[in-house]
Amino acid sequence: MKAVVIQSYGTPDVLSVEEVEKPTPGKGQILVRVEAVSVNYADIVRRRNDPYPVPTPLPAILGGKVAGHVEALGEGVANFAIGAPVFALLGGGGKGGYAQYAVADVGQVMPLPAGFDLDIACTLVVAGVTAYQTLKEAGRIESGESVFIPGALGGVGSYALQLAKHFGAGLVIGGAGSAARCEEVLRRGADHAVDYTADDWPDQVKRVTGGKGADVVLDMAGGKLFQQSLAALAPFGRLVVYGSASREPSTLIPKILMPQNQTVTGYYVANWFAGRPQRSIEAFKALVDLIRTGKLDVAMAGRLPLSGAAEAHRTMETRQAVGKLVLKPWLET
Ligand SMILES: NC(=O)c1ccc[n+]([C@@H]2O[C@H](COP(=O)([O-])OP(=O)(O)OC[C@H]3O[C@@H](n4cnc5c(N)ncnc54)[C@H](OP(=O)(O)O)[C@@H]3O)[C@@H](O)[C@H]2O)c1
């Protein structure tokens, strides 16, 4: 089968298509014919060998979230039909998703409704569930509250923009890194957009929230943006840290949260699935339903063949993408 293999860490040029052996499902596993695999920030971090919660031994096939059809069942697996559409979270050091076939543990495979768009399906967990749970579980968003969403054109952010409205947010403020991208954030339904390359962006958030700040503030960058996010937080507000894209350290002196009863909390999707699987699966199912019924319109930045993996990484790294990028392993170049 064809797969994108990295033989060394480095720039996007290390991503190259190779012929590799088709994997075989072991006991309790399912072989998935991959129709679409999402390109996620974690793949970039792994490719660069930047610090990450789990190591990526070489050679590696990146990509941890795939959608496709059940191709074969390993020993002891009976509850999936061959050919059924599924979403799968892949295990293992490199993950194995930028490939025509991938193996997943049966507990990490979720059925999809017949006819569900598989390009969208592969974005459901990292982008969709992260957006859903940062707002609802970690952010405890309530009807009528205001929310600040940075990276509002990114994978997680573009889901979060729409989900915030779905959860009844009274005011949705999207953040982006240029005036032109802010225009796009407004076109995508935010009530306000702020360019966080301007140092006074927390003041702008305060202005549009009547001087209070946002009730829920998401942070995916850390460093300077984290410090500014604290300044943009309302009394009783929840600041949810779910990424550190800037790679800069963040500083928190807990006592500053005390006077205004504020909360700073973290979110990591993999450990939600591991530690609270039922609630994560509920979020997944809710997203499937919202998309199936046309209530959520997932922003797609592009669909590329495996040979487009390097281009996809470059587009994300240079912050040009609007929505999710997916690779289609059976698409010819
Ligand atoms: N904790 C979790 O479970 C979890 C799950 C998914 C993702 N994440 C993390 O969340 C972050 C966003 O993921 P994503 O999939 O939404 O990525 P993405 O699609 O690449 O979007 C990220 C957006 O963030 C903005 N941004 C702001 N500061 C940035 C910086 N220093 N470097 C790069 N982009 C920056 C960019 O938009 P502008 O140029 O307009 O600012 C970019 O479009 C990543 O750090 C990722 O690791 C964490």
Q: What is the pLDDT of residues 13-50, one digit of tens each?
A: 999 999 999 999 999 999 999 999 999 999 999 999 98
Structure tokens of 275? 């530690």
Torsion angle in degrees (nearest 10) through CA of 197, 203, 204, 205: 100
pTM value is 0.96
Q: Does ligand 1 have an atom closer than 6 angstroms to the CB of 220?
A: yes
Give backbone dihedrals phi and psi of 326, rounded to 5 degrees, phi first.
-130, 150
38 contacts 156 by C-beta, under 8 angstroms: no
- The pLDDT score that the predictor gives to residue 53 is 77
- The pLDDT score that the predictor gives to residue 94 is 64
User: Binning pLDDT at 50, 70 and 90, where does residue 55 land?
Assistant: confident
User: Binning pLDDT at 50, 70 and 90, where does residue 51 land?
Assistant: confident
What's the CA gap between 60 and 44, in Å, rounded? 13
| Mean pLDDT over each residue of the chain, to the nearest integer | 96
Q: Which amino acid would we find at residue 266?
A: G
Atom of ligand 1 nearest to the CA of 320: 43
What's the CA gap between 36 and 33, in Å, rounded? 9
Atom of ligand 1 nearest to the CA of 42: 47
What's the CA gap between 232 and 204, in Å, rounded? 9
Q: From 256, 310, 316, select the one nearest 10 (Cα to Cα).
A: 310
Return the axis-axis angle of helices 201-208 and 224-231, rounded to nearest 10°.
30
Residue-wise pLDDT for 170-209, tens only, equals 999 999 999 999 999 999 999 999 999 999 999 999 999 9
What's the CA gap between 275 and 326, in Å, rounded? 27
Q: Residue 81 C-alpha to ligand 1 middle, in angstroms? A: 36
For atom 15 of ligand 1, which residue has the closest CA? 155
Give the chain's end-to-end CA distance (angstroms, integer).
Answer: 15
Q: Which amino acid would we find at residue 259?
A: P
| Radius of gyration of the chain from its Cα atoms, rounded to whole angstroms | 20
331 contacts 161 by C-beta, under 8 angstroms: no
Q: Does ligand 1 have an atom closer than 6 angstroms to the CB of 155?
A: yes
Atom of ligand 1 nearest to the CA of 323: 19
What are the angstrom distances between the C-alpha of 313 and each of 9, 38, 46, 254, 283?
Answer: 13, 11, 12, 36, 27
